[in-house]
Amino acid sequence: MTVNSAHDLAGRREVVTEVPGPRSRQLQERRHRAVARGVGSALPVYVRAAGAGLLHDIDGNTFVDLCSGLGVTGVGNAAPDVVAAVRGQVSEFTHTCFLATPYEGYVAVCEELADLTPGDHEKRSALFSTGAEAVENAVKVARAATGRAAVVVLDHAYHGRTNLTLGLTARNNPFKQGFGPFTPEIHRIPASYPFRDPAGQTGEQAARRSLEALERQVGGENVAAVVLEPILGEGGFIVPAPGFLPEIARWCAEYGALLVADEIQSGFCRTGAWFASEHEGVVPDLVASAKGIAGGLPLSAVTGRAEIMDAVQAGGFGGTYGGNPVACAAALASIGVMRRDDLAGAARRIEQTLLGRLKDLQSRHEVIGEVRGRGAMIGVELVRPGTDEPAPELAQRIVAACHARGVFLLTVGTYGNVLRFLPPLVIPQGLLDDALDVLEECFAQVAAGGAG
């Protein structure tokens, strides 16, 4: 590969200034005068370059990346194949609008989606730019195809920040506060949250309890779709108890409601399979994907059964940028890398390393309530010792201590108390091991009462 990209920058974790460093702090001041307060940044170090598991900032610090730009750069940042495909495409044409004059890349991405998403039935796809747009369009499809209005979502769900998807999202602050009213006919049912559910409750029991309430309150025959994340992402990397997803799928089939899997964060090899629904053999009617699909370029999709997707009238889908040619080229290159380098296998290896090391850490620290997740999507839920009370301040202290030492990870979860491990799937083993060594030090330091 002749392309030069930051992907291949040799490097290791290195902190040479305070974090954030002086240049980042200067930029941060500039930012405060220009960028709206509502837009946050978890770690305000300004990035200069990024590669396969490393973030290089403008102060000369290098961080191990356990975030992947919120689960986007699974193939790595500036991945050489993606860079080459994007360069090739931008020099041919940057945009026509598929609604005006089409191009092959769009069709090819939809063919890949038909091939890769669960189920071997005939499928159709429509492309958009953001995850929220994909979810929003999946709801449109479900309503058009069923002629019903009600949409059912889970507690702890996150589906986006547009008005409809905020309505679907569970958490009020900071996502929804002040932004309502939201659209009607959204109904929320309890999720399966094994760490917090009654001991011994099976996934099927959790689903039955939620669905019985739904039948009483809404009526199964009024439900257009159940929209769910097969692994709850922003809600805290919650893996439902086995049997929960299959029971919801069974119920949807019984009532003629559609099962919409929001695989925006869990899709494209992230959990050790192409899509997380596969772990329980669930075949959703519609799949929303985004994030990992295109190596950092904005692209999203709704993929589903041909007859359901085609219930939408000609011209019923659109958007100026949906399926932009540069984003499609990036997606085709990213999918090629995932296939060629077996990144689902890579995610399973990351899972082994993370679960092994983190469960070992759990055996030594009472504040670790649960270690959970699949593939390269692993969460560590922190609690006050001897209880299941969330410990968000502790999570913040651990994360701050990691940042100061050059390991970039975030917290996640409804209660803000889950450490979030979401590394690029191509992260070298050495970097992952190093980041976990640092994490152990941070736990020891924080446990000993040290400052972050």
Closer Cβ to ligand PLZ, 288 or 358, answer by number: 288
Q: Least distance in Å: CB of 286 to ligand PLZ?
A: 13
Q: Does 132 bind ligand PLZ (CB under 6 A)?
A: yes
Q: How far apart are CA 398 and CA 407, in angstroms?
A: 11
Q: Which of residues 245-264 bind ligand PLZ (CB under 6 A)?
A: 262, 264
Q: How far apart are CA 414 and CA 53, in angstroms?
A: 27
Q: Least distance in Å: CB of 198 to ligand PLZ?
A: 26
Q: Least distance in Å: CB of 384 to ligand PLZ?
A: 26
Closer Cβ to ligand PLZ, 227 or 383, answer by number: 227
When binding is defined by CB under 6 A, the residue of 53, 76, 105, 233 that contacts ligand PLZ is 233
Which residue in 409, 407, 403 sits closest to 435, CA to CA?
Answer: 407
Closer Cβ to ligand PLZ, 161 or 196, answer by number: 161
Which segment (8-16, 26-34, 155-163, 435-443) binds ligand PLZ by CB under 6 A?
Answer: 155-163
When binding is defined by CB under 6 A, the residue of 161, 209, 349, 365 that contacts ligand PLZ is 161
Closer Cβ to ligand PLZ, 154 or 401, answer by number: 154
Q: How far apart are CA 107 and CA 105, in angstroms?
A: 5
Q: Least distance in Å: CB of 139 to ligand PLZ?
A: 12
Q: Write out the H or E segment, with its range, that includes residue 107.
A: helix 104-116
When binding is defined by CB under 6 A, the residue of 59, 65, 81, 229 that contacts ligand PLZ is 229
**252 and 261 Cβ atoms separated by less than 8 Å:** no
Q: How far apart are CA 194 and CA 239, in angstroms?
A: 8
Q: Least distance in Å: CB of 261 to ligand PLZ?
A: 10
Which segment (49-57, 157-165, 237-245, 340-348) binds ligand PLZ by CB under 6 A?
Answer: 157-165
Q: Does 112 bind ligand PLZ (CB under 6 A)?
A: no
Single-letter residue type at 37: R
Closer Cβ to ligand PLZ, 317 or 443, answer by number: 317
Q: Tokens for 152, please give them.
A: 């059912």
CA dist list (Å): 202 to 17, 18, 180, 205, 253: 50, 48, 35, 5, 21
Q: Does 158 bind ligand PLZ (CB under 6 A)?
A: yes
Q: Least distance in Å: CB of 69 to ligand PLZ?
A: 10
Q: Does 284 bind ligand PLZ (CB under 6 A)?
A: no
Long-range Cβ contacts of 390-398 (<8 Å, 24+ apart): 390/415, 390/416, 390/417, 391/367, 391/417, 392/416, 392/417, 394/367, 394/446, 395/419, 396/452, 397/446, 397/451, 397/452, 398/439, 398/442, 398/443, 398/446, 398/452
Q: Least distance in Å: CB of 40 to ligand PLZ?
A: 8
Q: Does 159 bind ligand PLZ (CB under 6 A)?
A: yes
DSSP 32-97: HHHS-TTS--SS-PPEEEE-SSEEEETTS-EEEESSHHHHT-TT-TT-HHHHHHHHHHHHH-S---
Closer Cβ to ligand PLZ, 231 or 427, answer by number: 231
Q: Does 323 bind ligand PLZ (CB under 6 A)?
A: no
Give the count of residues interacting with ligand PLZ (CB under 6 A).
16
When binding is defined by CB under 6 A, the residue of 290, 394, 435, 438 that contacts ligand PLZ is 290
Q: Does 131 bind ligand PLZ (CB under 6 A)?
A: yes
Q: Does 135 bind ligand PLZ (CB under 6 A)?
A: yes
Q: Which of residues 19-78 bind ligand PLZ (CB under 6 A)?
A: 70
**109 and 371 Cβ atoms separated by less than 8 Å:** no
How many Å separate Cα 386 from the centre of its chain?
A: 31
258-295: burial string, b at 16+ Cβ within 10 Å, e else: bbbbbbbbbbbbbbbbbbbbbbeebbbbbbbbbbbbbb
Closer Cβ to ligand PLZ, 233 or 296, answer by number: 233
CB atoms under 10 Å from CB of 218, counted, come to 17
Which residue in 392, 386, 447, 393 sits closest to 417, CA to CA?
Answer: 392
Q: How far apart are CA 301 and CA 130, in angstroms?
A: 8
Q: Does 236 bind ligand PLZ (CB under 6 A)?
A: no
Structure-token match 């449109």, residue found: 140
Which segment (46-54, 126-134, 302-310, 350-358) binds ligand PLZ by CB under 6 A?
Answer: 126-134
Residues that bind ligand PLZ (CB under 6 A): 70, 130-132, 135, 158-161, 229, 233-234, 262, 264-265, 290
